[in-house]
Amino acid sequence: MTDHSASEARTFLPPYLLERVASSGSAHQRECARQTLLADDRFRARAGSVALPQGSARRGEPARYVHSAEQRQVLPGRLVRSEGQGESGEPAVDEAYRGLGATYRLFWEVYERHSIDDDGMALLATVHYGRDYENAFWDGRQMVFGDGDGELFNRFTIAPDIIAHELTHGVIQHEAALAYAGQSGALNESLCDVFGSLVRQRELGQSVDEADWLIGKGLFTERVAGRALRSMARPGTAYDDPLLGRDPQPDHMEAFVVTEADHGGVHINSGIPNHAFHLVAMALGGHAWERAGRIWYDTLVDRRLSHDSDFVTFASLTHDNAERRYGAASREATAVREGWRRVGVLP
pLDDT (tens digit, 9 = 90+) per residue, 9-63? Answer: 799 999 999 999 999 999 999 999 999 999 988 876 666 678 899 999 999 999 9
The three-point CA angle 179-182-185 to 5° equals 40
Summarize the confidence of residues 165-192 as an average pLDDT. 97
CA 269 to chain CA centroid, nearest Å: 14
Q: What is the pLDDT of residue 42?
A: 82
Q: What is residue 6's predicted lDDT score, i.e. its pLDDT?
A: 43
Whole-number percent of the chain with pLDDT over 90: 94
Tell me the pLDDT tens digit for each residue of 291-309: 999 999 999 999 999 999 9
> Given pLDDT bands bounded at 50, 70 and 90, which one contains residue 7?
low
Query: What digits encode the pLDDT tens for the residues 125-156?
Result: 999 999 999 999 999 999 999 999 999 999 99
Domains of the chain: 10-174 (3.10.170.10), 182-342 (1.10.390.10)
Rounded CA separation 288/47 (Å): 33
Q: Count Cβ atoms within 10 A of the Cβ of residue 290 and give its class: 0-12 exposed, 13-18 middle, 19 or more buried.
A: middle
Give this prediction's pTM: 0.96
For 83, residues 6+ apart whose C-beta sits below 8 A from its C-beta are 56, 61, 62, 63, 64, 65
Which amino acid, one-letter code, is at 246?
A: R
Average pLDDT over residues 176-185: 97
Residue 146 near residue 156 (C-beta atoms within 8 A):
yes
Collect all residues with Cβ–Cβ distance below 8 Å to 17 and sequence separation of at least 6.
244, 245
Query: Would the pLDDT of 4 be above 60?
Result: no
The type of residue at 51 is A
95, 134, 166, 323: which one is catalytic? 166
Four-CA torsion 67, 188, 179, 263, nearest 10 degrees: -90
Which of 128, 267, 275, 319 is catalytic? The answer is 267
Judge whether 278 counts as a catalytic residue: no
Whole-number Å distance between alpha carbons of 203 and 103: 9
287 assigned to active site = no
pLDDT at 8: 66
pLDDT tens, 243-268?
A: 999 999 999 999 999 999 999 999 99
- What is the arithmetic mean of pLDDT over 198-208? 98
Query: At residue 144, what are phi and psi to the nearest 5 degrees?
Result: -135, 135
SS (H, E, C) the chain: CCCCCCCCCEECCCHHHHHHHHHHCCHHHHHHHHHHHHHHHHHHHCCCCCCCCCCCCCCCCCCEEEEECCCCCCCCCEEEEECCCCCCCCHHHHHHHHHHHHHHHHHHHHCCCCCCCCCCCCEEEEECCCCCCCCEEECCCCEEECCCCCCCECCCCCCHHHHHHHHHHHHHHHCCCCCCCHHHHHHHHHHHHHHHHHHHHHHHCCCCCCCCCEECCCCECCCCCECCCEECCCCCCCEEECCCEECCCCCCHHHCCCCCCHHHHHHHHCHHHHHHHHHHHHHHCCCCCCCHHHHHHHHHCCCCCCCCCCHHHHHHHHHHHHHHHHCCCCHHHHHHHHHHHHCCCCC
The one-letter amino acid at 247: D
The per-residue pLDDT for 232 is 99
Could you tell me if 269 and 254 are in contact, meaning their C-beta atoms sit under 8 angstroms apart? no
CA–CA gap between residue 173 and residue 300 (Å, rounded): 11
Residue 167 vs residues 100, 186, 245, 328, 346: alpha-carbon distances, Å = 8, 16, 28, 33, 29
Phi and psi dihedrals of 138, rounded to 5? -100, 125
